[in-house]
Amino acid sequence: MKRKTFFTLIIMVFVLSFFVTPVGYWGKVWLMRLFASPPEIIAVDDRKKIDGYDWKLKDANWDFFNLNESKGKVLFIHFWASWNTPSAAELNGIQTLYDAYSDGVDFYIVTNEEREPVEEFMAKNKYTFPVTYRIVGEGAPFEIPKIQGTYIIDDNGEIIVNSQETHDWDSATVTQLLDSITDKS
């Protein structure tokens, strides 16, 4: 009986750790990464163009700029929040994509948070992709997701991927897509 009680307590501690400790947070992130699938690519006939590139944003230095700078380029636009577990689960794959494709793709990793928690999150996780800050209320050339979402837009302004789910961005599906629409092909 004591052995059974001991094992029951161990299981209870393990389960509780997912709710009240950082182990739970990282466990959830790991599980989301493990079960994430590649995003669905929009069929050529179903693709829509964005409504232009006029979208004012802020860079990591808090300087204003406009998405017009990226007109005619391939765009990877990801909306996220440092406090959102599904967002955090996607960022490792996005970092890998940024490392491989930043020379041919303009990455916009967009948040509407204040700088301090974002900078702390980025340093803690050793992410090097540039963070873009959204100006709340500023109109965008496409629908802005509530918390997380990702667009891949080709150099003609056509939306190739539009997803608001957690995905594996470091997948063969995504790398083949980016190779086909950038100079890496």
- Looking at residue 24, its pLDDT comes to 66
Domains and CATH numbers, the chain: 1-35 (no CATH), 39-181 (3.40.30.10)
Alpha-carbon distances, residue 15 vs 25, 34, 118 (angstroms): 12, 19, 29
Question: Residues of 131-167 as b/e, b for ≥16 C-beta within 10 angstroms?
Answer: bbbbeeeeebbbeebeebbbbbbbeebebbbbbeebb
Would you state the pLDDT for residue 120? 95
**pLDDT score of 12:** 84
Residues of the chain with pLDDT under 50: 185
Residue-wise pLDDT for 56-97, tens only, equals 999 999 999 999 999 999 999 999 999 888 888 899 999 999
Task: Report the predicted TM-score, pTM, of the whole model to 2 decimal places.
Answer: 0.84
Distance between CA atoms of residues 8 and 27, nearest Å: 20
d(CA 91, CA 46): 28
Pick from 87, 101, 105, 116: nearest CA to 29: 87
Looking at residue 185, its pLDDT comes to 45
Q: How many CB atoms lie within 10 A of CB 114?
A: 10
pLDDT value at residue 45: 96
